[in-house]
Chains A and B, each alone.
Chain A
Amino acid sequence: AQSVTQLGSHVSVSEGALVLLRCNYSSSVPPYLFWYVQYPNQGLQLLLKYTTGATLVKGINGFEAEFKKSETSFHLTKPSAHMSDAAEYFCAGGLSGNTPLVFGKGTRLSVIA
């Protein structure tokens, strides 16, 4: 069965510092991978996704993620954190376009002024 693991339930960075949120997946075939962001009392908003093709994926708000099959990872990065980036981030995966997503437990990002 597929699983998604997010390392670190809480990450704290200073404003302007690099953001790195870690995600590893477990599956026997290359999955579809997503990063979603959830602000308080709101639904999930898609940041970026990997399906096929280029392994470096750029998303909204300056975020990007790289699919590394050899490491079964899909870490999310942003060069410079902004206060507005403070939120809960979820990594999710699916084996095909029609299968339900399996979510990680989430990582709460705090940005310190």
Chain B
Amino acid sequence: EAGVAQSPRYKIIEKRQSVAFWCNPISGHATLYWYQQILGQGPKLLIQFQNNGVVDDSQLPKDRFSAERLKGVDSTLKIQPAKLEDSAVYLCASRIGTAQETQYFGPGTRLLVL
């Protein structure tokens, strides 16, 4: 079974530029999460999707961050414009969405904002 795929793996941009990350969850997983992991900290939830609907985006900085999962499969996370403090690893995770609680994580995208 293929795992959660993310691209790109690394991205370097200058502040005020825009950037987009892509995630393809495990096939059949209804729930998809985006987490932000700042160096030295644990992952923090940005947004949770159930199929193509948003379940929780309370911690998403909506003035600059946006995310979508239009067909209920893969998802994109966008930052526009980026700030220095957005430098972090962005992790995508998926879960089958039933009583099976385990979240499976992708390798992450490491973003550096200069």
Q: Do A and B bind each other?
A: yes
* Across-interface contacts of B56 in A (CB, < 8 A): 100
CB distance B105 to A45 under 8 Å? yes
Interface residues on B, range: 20 to 34
* Across-interface contacts of A46 in B (CB, < 8 A): 102-104
Interface residues of A in 40-85 (CB under 8 A from B): 41-46, 49, 51
Q: Among A41, A97, A101, A106, point to the contact of B45 (Cβ < 8 A).
A: A101
| Complex Cα spacing A9 to B41, Å | 10
CB distance A44 to B102 under 8 Å? no
Interface size of A by CB at 8 A reads 24
* Across-interface contacts of B98 in A (CB, < 8 A): 97
Which A-B residue pairs are the 4 nearest by beta carbons? A103-B42, A43-B105, A44-B105, A100-B45
| Chain B residues in the interface with A (C-beta under 8 A) | 4, 31, 33, 40-45, 48, 55-56, 91, 93, 97-108, 110
| Chain A residues in the interface with B (C-beta under 8 A) | 4, 9, 32, 34, 36, 41-46, 49, 51, 90, 92, 94, 97-98, 100-101, 103-106
A45-B105, A103-B43 given; name 8 further pairs at CB < 8 Å.
A41-B110, A43-B4, A44-B91, A44-B93, A94-B101, A104-B42, A105-B40, A105-B41
